[in-house]
Amino acid sequence: MTGATPADPTGETASGVRAGHRLTEHLTVGGRVSVRHRLPASAGAAGAAGWATDVVGELVSRDDDTLVVMGRSGPVPVRRADVVAAKDVPPPPSRPGPAHRRIGVDDLQRLMDRGWPATDARDLGDWRLRFAGGFTGRANSVLAVGDPRMPVGGAVDAAEAWYAERDAPALFQVVGESGFDPAGTPLGAELVSRGYVVGGGRPDWERVLVMTALADDIPALTEQSARVVADATLTPEWLMTYGEQRSVVPGVTESVLTGCDGLFMWVRDPDTHRMVALTMATVQTGWSGVFGLWVHPDHRRRGLARDLTAAVGMLARGKQLPAVYLQVSADNAAARSLYESMGFGVHHEYSYLRRP
């Protein structure tokens, strides 16, 4: 509320321009933020200098001097030198329920996109075109949530042209509530009419479940659990082990894996000391995400996937992040059963569509 509270003249506030830059340098562009900033003297109560107001909304841009926050009434430019407090905040609830259920489908998709960022991206209205040299479908597809701000056919044309410039096939991530028919959506129908197929010939792309859980509901590690090690640094050994399950693109894979704050976790064989299971856990506003969870085939059915997931839950609780998300192919019955036993439920799902 404007003019309700005078700006707190703390050391951070009083340090002026540099403080404002420090307070805003870690805000997530594209994410939801809360920014308190000083008002000009004429805007305060009775013209008093030092009064402040808050703006909450998407951080549209940030340069050396100015933030632009999309407030309720439109874009709000804020001089960074005037900022007295700033932080990332979770998306607003869009439906009733606990923290892991009340986030909207589109908001959770955008959060997950920031957890696995492409190396090359462009916004098309609310859609996001992503490319990362072919490394994973998530980082090389159109995140088609929201309004592209043009007819669907024109948006598909623009996306196809963008990928053609990169010598890559267009791949669309079509999102919906649990049980939806991707070909029955306006975008899905347009794509099918152009020869796209659900899954693009890959069964694991036909239906992908986004599962969420309250961090407090995820069981903790026990004395019988394997020893899980975590490090904020992506090491060559972790990357090499990760490469045993999928092809890596030198330089690109590292950029995607380190594009979001998080921890790299692993379990070693107690006899050979080799890494035999791993995952990457993101640390985001209100959430932790599970990515790339893998167990070596010779070490499966020993509870290592459960132990890694438990470690992510403990990480989330330790950092006061109330919720955890992950993504799993609907055809992976064993993984689904594991996650359900650990408190996860389906939030929504998506499918990839491409030409075979």
- Which comes out higher in pLDDT, residue 11 or 354? 354
351 inside domain:
no
Pair 195, 105 in one domain: yes
Cα within 13 Å of Cα(260), Cβ side: 25
Pair 246, 174 in one domain: no
Task: Give the closest residue to 292 by CA, choosing from 305, 275, 276, 280.
Answer: 280
pLDDT score for 46: 44
pLDDT score for 121: 98
Task: Give the closest residue to 100 by CA, choosing from 179, 218, 181, 180.
Answer: 218
Return the CATH number at 29. Answer: 2.30.30.100
Is the pLDDT at 15 greater than 80? The verdict is no
282 inside domain:
yes
Pair 70, 106 in one domain: no
Pair 190, 250 in one domain: no
* pTM for the full predicted model: 0.83
- Which comes out higher in pLDDT, residue 47 or 71? 71
pLDDT score for 272: 97
Calculate mean pLDDT across residues 69-95: 86
Total domains present in the chain: 3
Is the pLDDT at 7 greater than 60? The verdict is no
pLDDT score for 329: 98
Assign 41 a pLDDT band (cuts: 50, 70, 90).
low
What percent of the chain has pLDDT above 70?
Answer: 92
Pair 218, 339 in one domain: yes
Identify the domain boundary among 206, 229, 253: 206
pLDDT score for 173: 99
Calculate mean pLDDT across residues 167-180: 98
Identify the domain boundary among 88, 123, 149: 88
pLDDT score for 139: 98
pLDDT score for 17: 55
275 inside domain:
yes
Pair 80, 201 in one domain: no
* Gap between the Cα atoms of 303 and 295, Å rounded: 10
Pair 108, 196 in one domain: yes
Identify the domain boundary among 31, 59, 88: 88
Average pLDDT over all residues of the chain: 91
Span 320-353, pLDDT tens digits: 999 999 999 999 999 999 999 999 999 999 999 9
Q: Is 57 left (phi over 0), alpha (psi -120 to 50) or beta?
A: left
41 inside domain:
yes
Pair 15, 136 in one domain: no
Assign 43 a pLDDT band (cuts: 50, 70, 90).
low
Is the pLDDT at 161 greater than 60? The verdict is yes
- Which comes out higher in pLDDT, residue 30 or 175? 175
Domain containing 67: what range? 5-88
350 inside domain:
no
Assign 90 a pLDDT band (cuts: 50, 70, 90).
confident
* Gap between the Cα atoms of 28 and 89, Å rounded: 10
Is the pLDDT at 16 greater than 60? The verdict is no
Return the CATH number at 254. Answer: 3.40.630.30
Pair 66, 119 in one domain: no
- ∠ CA 239-240-242, rounded to 5°: 60
Is the pLDDT at 125 greater than 90? The verdict is yes
Is the pLDDT at 10 greater than 80? The verdict is no
Q: Is 350 left (phi over 0), alpha (psi -120 to 50) or beta?
A: beta
Pair 162, 256 in one domain: no
Question: Is the Cβ–Cβ distance between 103 and 90 less than 8 Å?
Answer: yes
355 inside domain:
no
CB neighbour list of residue 218: distance below 8 Å, 6 or more residues apart: 309, 310, 312, 313, 314, 316, 324, 342, 343
Is the pLDDT at 150 greater than 70? The verdict is yes
Pair 81, 197 in one domain: no
Pair 137, 230 in one domain: no
Contacts 24+ apart (CB under 8 A), 24-29: 24/62, 24/67, 24/80, 24/83, 24/86, 26/88, 27/59, 27/62, 27/67, 27/86, 27/87, 27/88, 28/59, 28/88, 28/114, 28/285, 29/59, 29/60, 29/61, 29/62
36 inside domain:
yes
- Find residue 111's DSSP bridge partners: none
356 inside domain:
no
Span 252-306, pLDDT tens digits: 999 999 999 999 999 999 999 999 999 999 999 999 999 999 999 999 999 999 9
Calculate mean pLDDT across residues 295-320: 98
